[in-house]
Structure 1
Amino acid sequence: MDRTESTFSGSSRAALIDHDIAHIARVMPVSLRGDFGGPILPPAYWRKRLTALIESGQLAPAQLRKVDSLLLQLDQTASTPPPAWERFAPAATGPFEPTDAPKKVRSA
């Protein structure tokens, strides 16, 4: 997300960074948990967003601590194996067919 730095005052820039950090803190865990297909956005995406915030050089100490905390959460999530139900989920091979449906009989 590119922003023109010359158009924001110091307090506006700090508020934008606060909003960005709050958004990442709210959305990252849900995105990493994902659904049956895996994460919605991969850890590399979130690491890139958080690293960009740090490299901007615009973070206040409290903001830096929050970003560092989010990076630690990201590392912990990446090092935790997926739950058993996710590791052993069968791959979808074709359309689902109910087992109690009557069988089609071919007439000769």
Structure 2
Amino acid sequence: MERTLITLTGSTQAALIDQDIAHIGRVMRPSLHGDLGGPILPATYWRKRLHQLLDTGHLSHAQLCGVDSLLLQLDLFEASPQPVWNELAQAAAALPRRLHLMAADRHI
């Protein structure tokens, strides 16, 4: 199987970068907040993705502003106190048992 090098025109590359910035903007925050098990993807992952975009060297002013805004959001997220996931997970694990006991009391 032969490999061919795919070259992108400037407008195609700019469009892909725009799409990547928009995607990160949509999914980064929910991914960081995650669920009771903790973040789905850590801040280090998102910071690496954003720095990879900066390293392309082909960002417009608007794209630079978008990446900068996302990096600031990461800084704020990391600076804010994070919930203690183990305590939350233990509390959540105890809920179904309590609910089950309450339901069993009704049948007695």
| TM-score of the superposed pair, with normalisation by structure 1 | 0.77
The RMSD of aligned alpha carbons is 2.6
Q: Which of 1 and 2 has higher RCO (CA within 8 Å, sep 6+)?
A: 2
Structure 1: 4+ residue segments shifted above 3 A: none
| The structure with more helix, counted as a fraction of residues | 2
Name the counterpart of 1:26.
26
Contact 2:36 2:89 in 1 (8 A): no
Q: 1:12 to 1:87 in 2, by over 3 A?
A: same
Q: 1:46 to 1:5 in 2, by over 3 A?
A: farther
CA deviations over 1:68-93 (Å, ceiling 9, x no partner): 11000000011111358x68425277
Name the counterpart of 2:60.
60
1:1-108 mapped onto 2 (5 Å cutoff): 6-82=6-82, 88-89=87-88, 91=90, 96-97=96-97, 98-100=100-102, 101=104
Q: Which runs of 5 or more residues in structure 2 are unaligned?
A: none
Contact 2:37 2:89 in 1 (8 A): no
| TM-score of the superposed pair, with normalisation by structure 2 | 0.77
Q: Which runs of 5 or more residues in structure 1 are unaligned?
A: 103-108
Identity %: 54
